[in-house]
Homo-oligomer: A and B are copies of this chain.
Amino acid sequence: MNEFDIIAEIFAPLAHHPGAFGLKDDAAVLPARPGFDLVITTDQIAEGTDFFAFDPAASVAQKALRVNLSDLAAKGAVPEFYLLVLALPQSMDLAWLQDFAAGLAEDQKRFGVTLLGGDTASTEGPLSITVTAFGTVPEGKILKRGGATVGDAVYVTGYIGDSAGGLAIFKREKHALSEPQRDDLIAHYRLPEPPVDFGARLRDLASASVDVSDGLLADLGHIASAAHVGMTIDADTIPRSEALRAFWGDGIEAILRAATGGDDYQIAFTASPVREAEIIAAAQGVTVTRIGTVTAGEGVELRHKDQVVSVPKPGYRHF
């Protein structure tokens, strides 16, 4: 199959929006939707960094999409469309591409998005996938990083660190986990579960919000820096799964690894504590944990048993 056949047979069936022109034109078109803003984000994932050659094609596709949906969710946007750019090694075969597209089809239904366009090329390097995702918010209603104010509470969704734990297992770190515990951590690394619907419900409740992808403490630092505030985080309240606690324990070193590991694809946000009952009502099955307070000053202070903990590396860095 050449690239035109791949586009026509594998990917065109995913392109339901009329403005995608069935992936048969040079560009896609989106009509203006008065009263709504378009929220746009793009993230690339690559083999060896964000996934491995032995990962199933379907979950690789879904990870590429979901790391972008996570950004949209953190901005309070409802996801709508995405572009897909593939750099494929010559070794990729038709069966792999079919599984990849099946993974996308499944997530399109689950998250209500459709393929709008893209580009497919061969590469001599590792497989990489770039998704650009588009969502909508009512005009002016995007949730930004900069809105936190002193006295707000700090919250995070889901568990933190499971993905870092899964990656450590892939990297052959020793453990005494049960098979289900091990699989659970690996699953979180392989396939994030961003709280996409909750993001839109958070729009009128949170004062600031960020996607947790670089590491919880690093991403909270982004809110603090954008909002010109400080934060105090209580290390013991950072939500960690049973499996991760069984893997790394409950000491401050374990908490630090979880809170700086990255790839969580949860939402960290700030809100006035008087809205807490509304936030809990909006959670609808998403775990929301209060982990700290917005303070005057700057930076993120991690406290553990009334001691300030030094955080030499708050998050993942590519270089």
User: Hey, which bits of chain A sit against chain B, CB under 8 A?
Assistant: 2-4, 19, 21, 24-44, 46, 48-49, 71-72, 74-75, 77, 83, 85, 87-88, 90, 116-126, 128, 130, 132, 135, 137, 139, 142, 144-146, 210-211, 222, 226, 317-319
In the complex, the answer to whether B121 meets A46 with C-beta atoms within 8 Å is: yes
Cα(A83)–Cα(B38), bound, Å = 14
Knowing A85-B130, A123-B125 touch, does A38 contact B44 (C-beta < 8 A)? no
Q: Of A19, A26, A128, A144, which is in contact with the most chain B CB atoms at under 10 Å from its CB? A: A26
Q: A122-B319, A317-B3 are in contact. Are A29 and B25 (CB under 8 A)?
A: no
Partner of A318, one of B21, B28, B44, B121: B121
Known contacts A44-B119, A46-B123, A121-B46, A75 near B32 by CB under 8 Å: no
- Report the bound CA distance from A120 to B319 in whole Å: 10
19 residue pairs from A and B, CB less than 8 Å apart: A26-B41, A27-B39, A27-B40, A28-B39, A28-B40, A29-B38, A29-B137, A30-B40, A40-B116, A44-B87, A44-B119, A48-B124, A85-B85, A85-B130, A119-B130, A122-B318, A125-B125, A128-B128, A130-B130
CB closest residue in chain B, given A210: B26
For A25, what are the chain B residues with a Cβ–Cβ distance below 8 Å? 75, 144-146, 226
List the 7 shortest-distance A-B pairs measured between CB atoms, nearest first. Answer: A125-B125, A27-B41, A26-B71, A122-B318, A32-B32, A30-B38, A34-B34
In angstroms, how far is the closest chain B Cβ from the Cβ of A28?
5
Contacts of A35 in B (CB 8 A): 32
Q: Give bound CA distance, A121 to B36, whole Å.
A: 31
Please indicate the chain B residues that have their CB under 8 angstroms from the CB of A137 in the complex.
29
Give bound CA distance, A31 to B33, whole Å.
Answer: 9
Q: Is the CB of A41 within 8 A of B24?
A: no
Residue in A41, A135, A146 whose Cβ sees the most chain B Cβ within 10 Å:
A41
Q: List 11 additional A-B contacts (Cβ < 8 Å) besides A43-B85, A44-B119, A125-B128.
A: A25-B145, A25-B226, A26-B145, A29-B37, A29-B137, A32-B38, A44-B85, A46-B87, A125-B125, A125-B126, A128-B128
Inter-chain contacts of A318 with B (CB < 8 A): 2-3, 120-122
Which of A43, A122, A132 gathers the greatest number of chain B CB atoms within 10 Å? A132
